[in-house]
Structure 1
Amino acid sequence: MVSLAILLLAWWLDTRLGEPARFHPLVGFGNYAAWLERQLRRLPLAARWQGIIAFLLAMLPVVPFAFAAAIFSGGFYVLLGSLVVYLAMAYRALREHALHVYRALEAEDLPLARLEIAKIVSRETAELSEGEVCTACIESVLENGSDAIFSAWFWWLLLGFPGVVLYRLVNTLDAMWGYKNTRYRYFGWAAARADDVMNYLPARSVAWCYSLAGNAKQGLRCWREQGYRWKSPNAGPVMAAGAGSLTITLGGAARYHGVMQTRMTLGVGATPVAQDILRALNLVRLALWIWLAHAVVVCVGIFLLFSLIERGFV
């Protein structure tokens, strides 16, 4: 139960403070990873091996400190745990970025909305229509809600300090190197596969909670019928469940790095409008409470089971 209390404290810190404007540890880690990439690309090795070595060298200096932090107890453990989880999540930042897009659309300033959405998506945004901006924004809210909040919480509850630190570092490397373009298709293979593995279970717990937070019947059906066919094994279930739950349509063609990609359609209903961005944000918030409620039930169940085992009833 202490771990759950730490999640709530970290969430409170994030909503009050947001991401640190300066000296964020992940910025330093990203700079270190970029330096590693420059050095490893000079080696006379295949790009995949360069990426594997870079991935291991990026992880090795940091992970031991996470295991060492797990030995602390008492009030210091609570404070340190809350700080680490707070730094690993980005609820307020995700919400603020989406609201900037929404406000630009409400002001009928499509050029500004395109500039704002470009900050949180990797597709080309200069020629997006209003509906495409809304689609891109909601896709980012649903997918990054899973990556930047739920998965960090999942690994904190499962493995504590080592789990949440390992997850956040892997996810950061995937964000830097996990592109399927000429530069990173092979170099980023290790980071992308590690991120797929670490997000597999969290993403499905998110798809379940997204479904329950809205139109559950449609969310579960879209997850079951559409999620596995998306290009990403984890983003697919999350976005399909979210789109179905909101009864909107996501996906469709999008241009990445100069190449137009034909993406399948996710969800049911009409193309999203600006107001649906607010609905998506509310869906994520409600899903967080649903996820926490499930976590409480699981933790209480485990506690009762071990109590029964200690007393010889099981």
Structure 2
Amino acid sequence: MLLFAPLIVCVLALAFDHLMGEPRHLHPVVGFGRLATGVEKRLNTAPGNPWRSLLAGLFSVILLTAPMLGLAIWVSLAVDGLLLVLAQVVTLWLALSLRGLAEHGKAVAEPLREGDLEKARDQVSRIVSRKASALNEQGVAAAATESMLENGADAVFASLFWFLVAGIPGVVMHRMVNTLDAMWGYRNPRFLYFGRVAARLDDLMGWVPARLTALTYMLLGERTLAWWCWRTQAPQWDSPNAGPVMAAGAGALNVRLGGPSPYPSGVKHRPALGGTQDANAVSVEAAITLVRHGAWLWLGVVLVVTAVIFLVVR
């Protein structure tokens, strides 16, 4: 029973996510984000001073993560049996967002399918930072497809990975670091140095999960094209983790992503990713399906590995 506990936790957490989704009120990640906003306003007082800003960012990361990580470690050591399994299930469920990901993606795909571009723009503005009003139909679909692929890595596969590797402390630490990177990891005057520690920690914690995610997308899609995109297009991407994930995902779906994208600060020219087909409502839904099937694949792999270990040690 103990050997199969990680598999049981993953299955139950994904089941909770499927049935209930994310808590609508009092979500701990939302609360952590609000706390991080308050800390940043108080401590990020010298963005023009590189060393002072960098040290303030380091101190802020430690201040925000150390108490929660300590609590997670204490729970893992002080609790056992069914109570520990329950704590693991709840923690992983709160870190996962497969249903939320699908809901956001479908909210964009449905108006696109119906020809309601304005509604699709409004919905995509909720999940990406691009200037939605400047996006055409293909641009909206591409933005949503990219969001599904990239957030599949952060909100689904990385959470599963860190639970399997380090239990509750791993899940909690990754979710905190990923949240701080999402809030502070901007290359603008205010966060260029202050957010650097959070950004580098997120790169470090996401390195292995991102490549496992890329492998997952490749195995479940057009393998040859996905592999080619991963090897040739991903290195051109700024992010060491988003590049492999989105390149392999775009290739797996044979959809064209990347390229020029409008942001409030101007047009950002990004390397092209994927194949030859334009993004549309179908590609958004296909990306959701790819992430969902990937989660099932991971459960299958965990089952096989657990069964092999069981047969060896019995």
TM range (shorter): over 0.9
Q: Secondary structure at the match of 1:252?
A: strand
Structure 1 partner of 2:227:
220
Structure 2 partner of 1:38:
41
Cα deviations across residues 164-194 of structure 1 (Å, max 9, x unaligned)?
Answer: 0101110111111011122211111011000
Q: Secondary structure at the match of 1:9?
A: helix
Deviation (angstroms), 1:256 = 2.8
Cα deviations across residues 153-173 of structure 1 (Å, max 9, x unaligned)?
Answer: 000000001100101110111
Identity fraction in percent: 42
Q: Answer whether contact 2:135 2:262 (CA < 8 A) is retained.
A: no
* Structure-1 separation of matches of 2:211 and 2:305: 16
* Structure-2 separation of matches of 1:254 and 1:192: 22
Gaps of 5+ in 1: 309-314
Select which of 201, 207, 216 maps to 2:208.
Answer: 201
Q: Secondary structure at the match of 2:26?
A: coil
* Structure-2 separation of matches of 1:60 and 1:257: 35
Deviation (angstroms), 1:304 = 5.1
Q: 250-259 vs 136-145, which deviates more? A: 250-259
* Structure-1 separation of matches of 2:242 and 2:298: 18
Question: Does structure 1 residue 59 correspond to structure 2 residue 65?
Answer: yes
Aligned amino acid, residue 32 of structure 2: F
Structure 2 partner of 1:312:
none
Cα deviations across residues 24-56 of structure 1 (Å, max 9, x unaligned)?
Answer: 111111111111111112378622121111111
Question: Does structure 1 residue 49 correspond to structure 2 residue 55?
Answer: yes
User: How much is the aligned-residue C-alpha RMSD, in angstroms?
Assistant: 1.5
Deviation (angstroms), 1:113 = 0.6
Select which of 5, 21, 36 maps to 1:18.
Answer: 21
* Structure-2 separation of matches of 1:120 and 1:192: 19
Question: Does structure 1 residue 232 correspond to structure 2 residue 239?
Answer: yes
Deviation (angstroms), 1:302 = 4.6
Question: Does structure 1 residue 154 correspond to structure 2 residue 161?
Answer: yes
Cα deviations across residues 7-32 of structure 1 (Å, max 9, x unaligned)?
Answer: 11001101111111101111111111
The count of residues paired between Structure 1 and Structure 2 equals 307
Q: Secondary structure at the match of 1:239?
A: helix
* Structure-1 separation of matches of 2:86 and 2:41: 36
Deviation (angstroms), 1:233 = 0.5
Structure 1 partner of 2:256:
249
Select which of 274, 278, 284 maps to 2:291.
Answer: 284
Gaps of 5+ in 2: none
Deviation (angstroms), 1:283 = 1.1
Structure 2 partner of 1:6:
9
* Structure-2 separation of matches of 1:234 and 1:272: 22
Structure 2 partner of 1:111:
118
Aligned amino acid, residue 62 of structure 1: M
Q: Which has the higher contact order (CA 8 A, sep 6+)?
A: 2
Deviation (angstroms), 1:95 = 0.4
* Structure-1 separation of matches of 2:308 and 2:294: 21
Aligned amino acid, residue 25 of structure 2: R
Cα deviations across residues 85-123 of structure 1 (Å, max 9, x unaligned)?
Answer: 000011111100110101111221111111100100112
* Structure-1 separation of matches of 2:264 and 2:305: 43
- After superposing on structure 2, the runs of 4+ consecutive aligned residues of structure 1 that deviate more than 4 Å are 301-305
Q: 196-205 vs 285-294, which deviates more? A: 285-294
* Structure-1 separation of matches of 2:229 and 2:303: 27
Q: Answer whether contact 2:134 2:262 (CA < 8 A) is retained.
A: no
Structure 2 partner of 1:261:
268
Structure 2 partner of 1:211:
218
